[in-house]
Amino acid sequence: MKKLFGAYIHWPYCLSKCPYCDFASRAESPLDENTLFQAYRRDILFLRTKTSAKTLTSVFFGGGTPSLMSPSLCTRLLNELNAHFPFSSDIEITLEANPDAINLKKMKSFQKVGINRLSLGVQSMTESGLKQLGRRHSLKTALSQIENAQCVFKNINIDLIYARPHQTRSDWQQELETAYALNLPHYSCYQLSIEKGTPFASQKIKPTDDETARTLYLDTHDFMKTKNIRQYEVSNYAKSGFECRHNLTYWLGCDYLGIGPAAHGRLNNLAVQNARTTSQWIKQKPQIETLSETERQTEKLMMHLRLLNVGYPIQGLPEQGLRTAFQNKWIIQKGDKIFPTLEGILMLNSLILLLMPA
Ligand SMILES: C[S@@+](CC[C@H](N)C(=O)[O-])C[C@H]1O[C@@H](n2cnc3c(N)ncnc32)[C@H](O)[C@@H]1O
Ligand code: SF4
């Protein structure tokens, strides 16, 4: 695989704040796009001084709801990036979109300016699930935007959230069937997590119990496998050749730029972190911290173990930890690499603790 190098651009605004969401996003009117552009540009120019001019293999507009930005701001940002970090000829450029913050016309405009992968936040394939999650859009809207996306893009993902309160195996099976019938090349299926400080946390909303969550996870793996949609990461499933290159950049421990509020990046041993709020970010250039070799190696191990089929070199891993991980059937060995099993993925945090450098 060629060397990956990505750029993440964060858009911090949404139409409303979902009650489960802890991402750096606010339901407020965006600052004017020229002010935003100047701050994004400052980040790009600053990062350019911290690394050599490498070829970008992916760009990811995430949020928040970046489909709210104008296609003209998107073009300006892509041009600016390309001027300082030239794009590879097959670059992957993803835009995250909410079903009620995109339409066919806007999709076509984004496609014209270079977006070639759309990630739609659908979250549930039922009306009741959408209501439970406090989403603004109906299932009908989500389905019609998926249909629109299929007229414009070949490379499409939808995000789904499962292990929602009271969700049963057959409920989720039905949602998976509905999602699969859409014939998409990529699905991200996240277990609902209750994040501190969110309305879901203060309302004491509970996801399904651990045992059900585990069963739903294994069901998802099995369902996708029978459909030839391979699980390649903890929460990600793709038809062959449609794995998200940008996210693989993180998981393979390659370098990436972080641009915009709350964004972070990695450039060799440099950790780059931007201020979380938009008002702070506008005023403040990215902060840089130098990571020790152990910190960087630990991070790479944590990221690699999320991937099911890539493997991590066994050489140098702590012997006692390896023994326990093999005994627990959390890893298998092929050649000189270890691979997490499904059980290992379910116990990922414990597995990482076992294999971390002392
Ligand atoms: C950065 S968010 C933004 C996507 C987009 N704004 C949207 O909501 O459709 C990316 C994804 O993270 C997932 N997510 C966010 N909060 C979550 C939570 N508490 N538990 C599980 N998944 C979550 C959702 O599936 C969401 O689509
Ligand atoms: S889930 Fe998406 S739309 Fe909802 S608040 Fe978070 S980023 Fe915004």
pLDDT tens profile 74-131: 999 999 999 999 999 999 999 999 999 999 999 999 999 999 999 999 999 999 999 9
Nearest CA to ligand 2 atom 6: 21
At residue 1, the pLDDT reads: 57
What does the pLDDT average to over 140-166?
A: 98
79-94 core/surface letters (b: 16 or more CB in 10 A; e: else): ebbeebbebeeebbbb
- Mean pLDDT along residues 160-166: 97
Burial class (CB in 10 A: 0-12, 13-18, 19+), 334: exposed
**Distance between CA 70 and CA 318 in Å, rounded?**
50
> Once rounded to an integer, what is the mean pLDDT over residues 193-215?
96
Q: How much is the average pLDDT of 147-151? A: 98
Domain with residues 5-250, CATH architecture: Alpha-Beta Barrel (3.20)
Mutate which of 10, 20, 25 for ligand 2? The one with the most ligand atoms within 8 Å of its CB, which is 25
Name the percent of the chain lying above pLDDT 90. Answer: 98
pLDDT (average), residues 312-324 = 96
If you take atom 9 of ligand 1, which residue's CA is the nearest one? 121
- 2, pLDDT greater than 70: no
How far apart (Å, rounded) are the C-alpha atoms in residues 224 and 356? 31
pLDDT digits (tens, 9 = 90+) for 178-196: 999 999 999 999 999 999 9
Residue scoring higher pLDDT (321 or 3): 321
Q: Evaluate if residue 65 carries a pLDDT over 70.
A: yes
Q: Taking all residues of the chain, what is their mean pLDDT, rounded to a whole number? A: 97
The finding on whether 189 has its CB within 6 A of some atom of ligand 1 is no
Whether ligand 1 lies within 6 angstroms of the CB of 123 is answered as yes
Q: What is the pLDDT of residues 38-49, one digit of tens each?
A: 999 999 999 999
Per-residue pLDDT, 52: 85
Domain boundaries, the chain: 5-250, 293-358
- Closest atom of ligand 2 to 98 CA is 3
Predicted confidence at residue 357, as pLDDT, reads 82
Q: How far is the CA of 313 from the centre of ligand 1 (A)?
A: 32
Does 227 have pLDDT greater than 60? yes
Nearest ligand by distance to the CA of 18: 2
Q: Which residue has the least CA distance to atom 21 on ligand 1?
A: 192
- pLDDT (mean) for 262-280: 96
Q: Is the CB of 67 under 6 A from ligand 1?
A: no
